[in-house]
Chain A
Amino acid sequence: MEQLNGWFTDLLSNNAIFTANTLGFYWDGLVTTVQLVFLSLLIGVILAVPLAIGRGSKRRWIKLPIYAYTYVFRGTPLLIQLYLVYYGVVFFDGIQDSIFWVVFKEAFFPALIAFTLNTAAYTTEIFHGAIKNTAKGEIEAARAYGMSRKLMMRRIILPSAFRRALPAYGNEVIFMLHASAVASVVTIMDLTGAAYYVYARFYAPFDAFIFVALIYLCLTFSIMFLFRRLEKRLLAHLRPRGA
C-alpha cells in the first residue's frame, strides 16, 4: 500500500495534466454520467412495460399511438431530441414562474427527460418483441389452467419475456451509456464534458480523450459482465443441456 501510494503521488507530481484537480473533474463527470444513465434507464423501464403490453394490443387506438411514438424516437437522433427538450422546455407557459423552474433551469433535467423518452422507446420495442415471441405452448398451458388474460400476463408471459429480453436489453444499456456522451453538448459536465474541458484547458487531446475512453471501456465491460452473470442465472433453463 505504501509503495502504491508513493507510486501514485510520484505519477501525479510528474504530470501536468492529471492533477488531483482534473481527476476531480473526471470523478464528478463519472458521477453525473452514471446518475443520468441509471435514472433514465430506470424510468425508461417503468414506462416501457405498460407501453410494450399496449403495443401488442388488438385495439388500434392503443397500438398505433405507441407505434408512432417508438417509430419517431427510434428514427431520429438523440441529439435532436435533446435539443428539442432543452430549448423547448421554456415554451411551456408559466414554467419559469413555477416551482419546477428550479430543476428545469439546470440542463440535467431536460437531458434526463430526453434520454428517458429515447430509451423507453427502444425498450418498448425490445419487450414487445420478447412478448410476441413467447412460446405458444406456454400460453396454451396457462389457458388450460384457466388463467385470465391479466393473470397469464403477470404470471407467465411477462416473467418469461423479460428473461428472453435480457441480452437485447443489455445492449440497450450499453448503447445508452455511450449515447449519454451527447449530454456534454448542453453544458452538462458528464464524463465527456470533463474530458473536453481538460482537452481545451491543456490542449492535450490524446491524454484527455484516451483517459476518458478507458473509463468508458471499464464501464462498458462492467455492464457486460453484470448482464452475462444475470443471463447465466435467469436463462439457465434455455441453455442446451451439457454433456
Chain B
Amino acid sequence: MIDLQGYGPRLLEGAMVTIELAVLSLILAVILGLLTASAKLSRNRLIHGIGTLYTTLVRGVPDLVLMMLLFYGGQIGINMLTDQLYYAFDIDIFININAFVAGVITIGLIFGAYMGETFRGAFQAVEEGQMEAARAYGMSPLLAFRRVRFPLMMRHALPGIGNNWMVLLKTTALVSIIGLTDMVRVAAEATKATHEPFLFMIPVAMIYLLIATLSEWGFAKLTKRYNTGFGESSEWNN
C-alpha cells in the first residue's frame, strides 16, 4: 500500500469506517423509508400527519445541522432521561453516544425521509390489479407483499434508491466534522500536520469516485434484474 507519509494505513482504516457507516445507515434508511411510506399511505390521519411532518422537517433542514443537533443534543437528552430514571426509579445507567452510532442514526434518519418519498411513489405505481390477483390466489397479506408488491415496487424504486445512495455516500463525509475518524477526517488532520492538501485529499476523492462508480455498476445490474419481464426499456409502462 502507498505510504503517504505514514498516513496510508490510517487512511485505509478511515475508508473502511466510511463504507461501514454508509452501508449501516443505508439499511436504517431503507427500514425507516418503508415505514414512512406506509405511514404516508395510511388512511389514519394522525399517522399520515406524522409521516408528512417527518419528511418535511428533515428535508427542510441541512444535514449538518441535524447531525450536530443529534450528536451534541442527543447526549444531553439521554443524560436528562437517565437522570430522571435515576431520581424516579433509582435505576443507574449511563449511555454514551459515540460518534459512529450518532452518525449512523442521523444519516439513517435523514435518508429515511428521502427513501420514504421514493418508496411512496413506487408503491403507488404498483397496479392494484396485481394485488387483487395475489389475493385471489389466496396469498396471505405478508406473502402477497413479499412475492408481488415488493418485487414490482422495487422496479420503480431502484432509480430513486440509487440516487439516494449516491447522495448518502457523500453525506458520510460530514461525520468527520462531529469527530468520527472517517477518511475525510484522517485526510484533514494529515493536511493540517503536513500542509500538503493535494497529497491526501485527492486519494480520498478518488476512493469516493471508485465507490460511486462501483455502485453505479451494481445498480445497473439490479435494475436489469428487477426489469425482467418488462423488456429493455419501460415503454410498456407508458
Contacts and interface: CB of A to CB of B under 8 A. Distances in A.
The yes or no verdict on A and B being binding partners is: yes
Given A76-B209, A80-B201, A192 B64 contact: yes
A88 B198 contact: yes
Given A77-B170, A182-B174, A205-B76, A84 B66 contact: no
Interface in A31-71: 71
A212 to B, nearest CB: 6
A83 B170 contact: no
Given A83-B201, A216-B61, A72 B68 contact: no
B63 A181 contact: yes
Contacts of A221: 60
B85 interface: no
The 9 lowest CB-CB distance pairs between A and B, nearest first, are A77-B173, A87-B197, A205-B73, A178-B62, A209-B69, A181-B62, A205-B72, A181-B64, A77-B170
A177 B176 CA distance: 20
A32 to B, nearest CB: 14
A79 interface: yes
B188 interface: yes
Contacts of B187: 80, 83
A75 B212 contact: yes
Contacts of A83: 184, 187-188, 191, 197, 201
Interface string B48-68: 000000000101111111101
A226 interface: no
B228 to A, nearest CB: 27
Contacts of B198: 84, 88, 91
A181 B62 CA distance: 7
B60 A209 contact: no
A178 B66 CA distance: 11
A132 B177 CA distance: 39
Interface string B153-190: 00000000000001000111110110000001001100
13 contacts: A75-B208, A77-B174, A79-B176, A79-B184, A83-B188, A84-B198, A178-B62, A181-B63, A205-B69, A205-B72, A210-B69, A213-B69, A217-B60
Contacts of B195: 87
B82 to A, nearest CB: 17
B21 interface: no
A75 B209 contact: yes
Interface in B74-91: 76-77
Contacts of A79: 173-174, 176-177, 184
A76 B206 CA distance: 8
B73 to A, nearest CB: 4
Interface centre among B60, B77, B166 (most CB of A within 10 A): B60
B204 interface: yes
Interface in B189-218: 191, 195, 197-198, 201-202, 204-205, 208-209, 212-213
Contacts of B212: 75
A27 to B, nearest CB: 17
A54 to B, nearest CB: 22
A183 B181 CA distance: 20
A83 B200 CA distance: 10
A180 B59 CA distance: 15
A80 B72 CA distance: 23
Contacts of A199: 68, 72
Nearest to A33: B62
Contacts of B174: 77, 79, 182
Given A76-B170, A83-B201, A217 B68 contact: no
Contacts of A220: 59-61
Most chain A CB neighbours (cut-off 10 Å) among B172, B174, B184, B197: B197
Nearest to A217: B60
Contacts of A209: 65, 68-69, 72-73
A227 to B, nearest CB: 14
B71 to A, nearest CB: 8
B60 A216 contact: yes
A181 B173 CA distance: 13
A172 B224 CA distance: 29
B68 A205 contact: yes
A87 to B, nearest CB: 4
A222 B166 CA distance: 27
Contacts of B201: 80, 83-84, 87-88
B14 to A, nearest CB: 12
